[in-house]
Amino acid sequence: MIHVVDIHKTFVVKDKKTRKKKTIDAVKGISFHVKPGEIYGLLGPNGAGKSTTLRMIAGLMEPQSGSITVFDHDAMTASEKVRRCIGFLSTDLGVYGRFTPRELLRIFGEFQGVDPKVAERRGMHMLERLDLTDFADVKMESFSSGQKQKVSIARALLHDPKAVLFDEPTTGLDVLTAKTVLDLLKIMKEEERAVIVSTHVMPMVEQMCDRVGIIFDGKLHGDAPPKEILSQYGVGTLDEVFFKLAADGGVA
């Protein structure tokens, strides 16, 4: 289980023009819960606070207040344990260009405490499923963004994590590859993992997520199955929910 209870996150940035410090309330009190075998969709426009929320769950950032527990580990006091049971995919598309996928997976297997043989087998299996076997021994510096994304996904799932956190996993992918990724997520769900996906691609959410939370300006608007959200707002598609939220200035 993943429990997120009333988390807040504020950033302090400097305005170059006025030379004054500015606080950005990126996340203003978000709560939700994700059960194993459930796919939770975090929807929201750019800058809504999706990535920040996911990073806090993954123990990479600390919320100013509120609490997060991942499979009974507190994200703040036991962030290493939390990270060990999370497969985290960030939006950065960062891969080590000097390594081949096989090398990368071996190294990250070691980092995650996975037996090298097991890591090799799982990694190769994952690459096969993502249709990347031919590139297993090619340096990643020449990879396309889709290929990089695939390697990153394999890396994130290498240690058999109980919770899967994917930040915009289909951005930059063609429809075929996107479908492969989504199918993989469904398998994660069948394997009883708790899955959180952030996105602003609505159709994907509608057909796949068990529950969605709509983040708008750092706050959660609605936390229910997609169908319920639609009827709640009295509209036909999730896009329209967005338009409505934007028109109301986030007051729903």
Partner 1 sequence: MKGVWLVFKKEILEFTKDRKTMFFTLAVPIILYPLLFGMIGKMGQREDQQARSSQTRIALIDPSNVIESLIQARTNDFTLVPAPEDDEKARQAIKDDQLEMLVTLGASAAQDMAEQKTVAVDVLYNRVEKTGRVAMKRLEDALRELNNATVQDRLQKLGASSQLAAPTSIQSRQVGGEELLLAKLLGTMLPYMLMLMLFVGSMQLGIYVTAGERERGTLITLLATGLPRHEIIWGKLLYVFFMGIVNSVINIGAMTFSMGTLFGGREVSDGYAAVAAEEAAQLSGIAAVVDPTVITLTLLLMIPLGLLFSNLIVFLGVQAKNTQEAGTSMMPVVLLVLFLGVFSMAPGIEKMGILPYIPIVNVSLVIRKLFAQQASVMEYLTAFCMTVGLAVLLTYISTKFLNRESAIFKST
Ligand X SMILES: Nc1ncnc2c1ncn2[C@@H]1O[C@H](COP(=O)(O)OP(=O)(O)OP(=O)(O)O)[C@@H](O)[C@H]1O
Residues engaged in binding partner 1 (CB under 8 A)? 11, 13, 55, 58, 60-62, 80-81, 83-84, 86, 88, 90, 92-99, 103, 107-108, 110-113, 139, 152, 155, 159
Task: Characterize the bridge pairing of strands 163-167 and 219-224.
Answer: unpaired
Which tokens go with 32? 């939700």
3-state class (DSSP) for residue 125: helix
CA angle, corner 169, sides to 84 and 101, nearest 5?
65
Shorter beta-carbon distance to partner 1: residue 19 or 227:
19
From the list ligand X, partner 1, Mg ion, none, pick the one residue 58 interacts with, judged by a Cβ distance below 5 to 8 Å according to partner type.
partner 1
What is the per-residue binding string for Mg ion in 50-69, x denoting contact by CB under 5 A?
Answer: -x------------------
Shorter beta-carbon distance to Mg ion: residue 51 or 177:
51
The Cβ of residue 15 has, within 10 Å, a number of other Cβ atoms equal to 9
**Smallest distance, Å, CB 173 to ligand X?**
16
Residues that bind ligand X (CB under 6 A): 11, 13, 24, 26, 44, 46-52, 200
Name the phi and psi angles at 88, rounded to 5. -110, 130
Shorter beta-carbon distance to Mg ion: residue 143 or 166:
166
From the list Mg ion, ligand X, partner 1, none, pick the one residue 44 interacts with, judged by a Cβ distance below 5 to 8 Å according to partner type.
ligand X
Contact 169, 41 (CB under 8 A): no
d(CA 132, CA 95): 15
Contact 197, 206 (CB under 8 A): no
Residues that bind Mg ion (CB under 5 A): 51
